[in-house]
Amino acid sequence: MTTSGRMALRTQALTKVFRGFRAVDSVDLTVHKGGVHALVGPNGAGKTTLFNLLTGFVAPTSGTITVFGEDITGKQPEQVARRGVARSFQITSLFENLTSREQVELALQGLTRQGFRFWRSQKLLGRHRARVDELLAQVGLTPLADKPVGLLAYGQKRALELALVLALDPQVMLLDEPTAGMGIEDVDRTIELVRRIAAGRTVVFVDHNMHVVGSLADRVTVLQQGKVLAEGAYDEVRNDERVITAYLGEADHA
C-alpha cells in the first residue's frame, strides 16, 4: 500500500487567522486509516477551529487538507461529507418533539436526493426502517425508539447524536467532546459505544477527559495556542514535560 493510501486525513501547514489572531497555526496532522486519534489541549488551543477546518465549516487562511489522498482544501461541508467525512451533531440540532426513530429517519432522508418522494415508495421505506432499527440498536436506544427526544436523559441524547453520524456511514468520523457533561457511568458507556462504532472506520475526537483519551485513542495530538505541542501514543504524550507544563499552566489559570 502507498503511504497516502494509509492516510485518512492529512493537513499541511494548516492555518486559520481570525482578524490577525492565529487560532490554528501551521498544523501538520496525519490521521492513519482505521486509527482513533484524539485532539487535546487547553481551552482556546484551537481544537474546535481545527475540527471546523477539517469538515469545511471554516475555510483555511492557508495550508492544505487531504482526505484519502484527495485535496479537499476550501471545499464546502456537503462536499467534504460526500468524501466520507462526517462530524457529530450537537444536541442543539435535535428536535425535542420528534422520537429517536423519527430523528434517525430524518437524518437518513437527508441523504437521499428524492427527499419526500422517497417516503412514498413502500419498498424503499421498508428497507429504510430496517436501517433505522439497526442504527438505534447500535447505540443502545432500541427500547427508547418511540420516546420523544425531549424526554431522553442527557447521555441518551448524546448516544442519539452518534446514531445520526452513523446514519451517514462515514469512513472518517469526527466527534466533538463525545463525553462532555456526562457522569462517570455514561462516560464508560460512551467509551464502549465509540469503540464499537469505530470498528472499520477512522475516528478523530476532541475530549478533555484524559480517561476517555487514554481508553480510546491510539494516537494523541496536543495543541496549544494553535500549534502542535506534541504528538504520539497516549503514554508518550502524557509524560511529555511540555504537555504537563501546558496543562499545569491551565490549572494555575483556573
Ligand X SMILES: Nc1ncnc2c1ncn2[C@@H]1O[C@H](COP(=O)(O)OP(=O)(O)OP(=O)(O)O)[C@@H](O)[C@H]1O
Question: Which of 8, 29, 31, 47 contacts ligand X by CB under 6 A?
Answer: 47
61 is an interface residue for ligand X by CB under 6 A: no
Shortest reach from residue 141's CB to ligand X, in Å? 27
49 is an interface residue for ligand X by CB under 6 A: yes
Buried b (16+ CB within 10 A) or exposed e, 65-103: bbbbeeebbebeeeebbebbbbbbbebeebeeeebbbbb
46 is an interface residue for ligand X by CB under 6 A: yes
Question: Which of 8, 27, 29, 45 contacts ligand X by CB under 6 A?
Answer: 45
95 is an interface residue for ligand X by CB under 6 A: no
Question: Which of 5, 18, 93, 114 contacts ligand X by CB under 6 A?
Answer: 18
Choices 16-24, 89-97, 128-136, 179-187 (CB under 6 A): range interacting with ligand X: 16-24
64 is an interface residue for ligand X by CB under 6 A: no
Instruction: Write out the binding residues for ligand X, residues 109-168 only, by CB under 6 A.
Output: none
Query: CA 103, CA 111: separation in Å to the nearest integer?
Result: 13
Task: Choose between 104 and 182: whose C-beta lies nearer to ligand X.
Answer: 182
Shortest reach from residue 41's CB to ligand X, in Å? 6
Residue 83's contacts (CB-CB under 8 Å, 6 or more residues apart) are 67, 68, 70, 72, 75
Residue 249's contacts (CB-CB under 8 Å, 6 or more residues apart) are 42
Residue 134's contacts (CB-CB under 8 Å, 6 or more residues apart) are none
Shortest reach from residue 133's CB to ligand X, in Å? 35
Name the residues that contact ligand X, by CB under 6 A: 18, 21, 23, 41, 43-49
